[in-house]
Structure 1
Amino acid sequence: MESTTQPEPESTVAPTTVEEQVNTESAPETTTVPETETTTSVPETTTTAPETTTTVPETTVATTVVGEDVVAAEPVEPVVVTAATTLAPEEEQQTVITTPTIVVVAQEFLDVPALRAPAGAEVSEIKTPTSSSTTTTTTTTVVERTPINCETGVDYQETFDHPNFHMAGWLWTHAVCRRLYMLIEKKINSNWTPKTNKEVKEVVRAIRACDQWLKSHHLHEDDIVWPWLAALKPETKDILDGAMTEQHHGWEDLSKELQDTLTELDTDNTLTADSDTFAPLLARLQDVHYRIVVSVMSHFVDEEKLLIPLCLTLDKSEQIKTGDLIHKRVKSEPMAKFGFCGMIDLAKNDKVVGKSINKSIPGLIRKLLPALWNKSEYKWFITALEVVQ
């Protein structure tokens, strides 16, 4: 899955039609640990940030963080997350830069009863720097293995309406990914019983397309967005090179595992639901794909939470310039047409994102290009993932 931006005709392009701009939108407010204020009028040697308490919904397993000690909590009753950051001696404190503690949760996507999670839990660890002179707070969150639905995505209305947000294409990409992953999850978990080998191969092809498209999106961030942000906001370099890059690498490891499973499904040219090897291969596919979805959705939450507020502090010209760089690269990639058709499809299924897309992309382009490309570049994907009732 490579490009996700609309490859525009040479003559017409909306300045805000950026493929996958930098993310910094806050994920649903249900599971964030608010940043803590630091005080300068404190004892001579040490300053301790006040404890901050946040109630986490009962479907989320949170943790208690004090300094670097982490204790997991059980997801039965709403739990409390307490975070404390120990600061350096007062004489060393010059400027304290506060960064939100990032919590990895996929809470807002839990919705499809048909999906069942394998045993175990994913643990994500993020080290959030609070300043050059403070210690690092480590927050660990266990993502409970529960059903996931990416269809509803996140409401970006407030962000899209902000007068200084000019990276809409980046959030479009996240929203499209949520939809594509949702379609795959529904397909492979809805009593999928392919009667022909061609059907198996088409589903494998669709999963690979989604995987490749997200890979391209990550490369745009690694190669263009992260260096750009680090240059403009040096205080973000540690978390961009650390947590954000580590999450990309974590997805790459899962992607390799997914590709191994897809290769086995694709190699047998006689494989159907009646084959002895189909059931165990399908179980493996369901397992690894679920773990990928948890990883991706949680990463989007983290990324948006960090980067949307940052974008709002940057000059419009800087945002547009970077968006144009990404857009130029996207147009040269093999899956540019697939990504553009995916965005137009998303516009019909997500009112908030659709309004943003329709506002940014001229109507003629929205109608003409899908008419030319949809049948060969995208319709096959939707057809392959249709769930027969």
Structure 2
Amino acid sequence: MLIRTLIFILLLQAAAGCSKSQKKTDPKDDKPAPVVATFKNPLLSSGPDPWVIQKDGFYYYMNTQGNKISIYKTKALSQLDKAEVTVVYNAPASGADSKNIWAPELHFLNNKWYIYYTAGSSGDLSTQRMFVLENSDTDPTKGTWVVKGQIKDEAADFFAIDATVFSKNNKNYIIWSGHISATDNTQRLYIADLADEPWKMATPRVEISAPQYDWEKIGTPDVNEGPEILMNKKGNVFLIFSASGCWTDDYSLGMVSLKENGDPLKAADWTKSAQPVFTKKPENGAYGPGHNGFFKSADGTEDWIIYHANPRAGLACSNDRSPRMQKFTWNPDGTPNFGEPVKIDVAITKPSGE
């Protein structure tokens, strides 16, 4: 009887042990890692002149690197520091585009990819001009990038930087910052019609903005640069640009609006806002915010701005400029409301859909 009792107790203990073991390995008890719903600015420690384009579920990001052009590919801009990075162009040893590669922008036109970038032939910045690369692959990080050469107004081949492209009414336009002559240093904004070959201009340039307000004239010379186009749901066109010298803490964003049904090539159809639309916020670690881009959240429901800024005063146009992004809204009159630069190193809700 005693033996039977001992056997029964041992069987109960074994069963309990099996039950505990099973409980430990039950997949229902394996909790997934918590989802991180926030990110912090800056997105990278360095990244002047940030640019973003979305296509086929991916974001493609670029910034000034000086001697090369790289493309960051990611599905989530909030995780830009983990993106796949591909160098697509290295500066040649000599030539017209061998120095100071600035502000590359990636655009998809006529079923091909194009990169518009600024470069010069020497350390003399007066040699800075705009150039174009072409790639026929569906993925801009693959295939072969072909040099198409300088894009210019043949009658006004002066200092020219920061090219961007936009489409309206089935026409493509190029906008950039440049000088009116070889002897004038004021940076103005110009527009021209693109030819069917997107590395050529089809019309002479038209000036659509020049520094006129005090906030555009901080630092010498006076500067309007970094033009970027933003459209609202109604199709209204806003040109957001960077004003004053990037070497000042007061680099900021201004806005020029195209009148409804206006002609982009008609200067009188553009109107500049008297006040800047995005300015420094020292207490948030944002000095000289500017040279921006725009994108939609992954699910298409939110509008976001990406821009660079310095974390401290006096850092000028250096590689300390880092890329930051934040959501923006729209005013009742249809104009964008960018608010103020958000504080660095503070948790921000990720774009919707990430």
Regarding TM over 0.5, the answer is no
Structure (1/2) with the larger strand percentage? 2
TM-score (norm 1): 0.25
Structure (1/2) with the larger helix percentage? 1
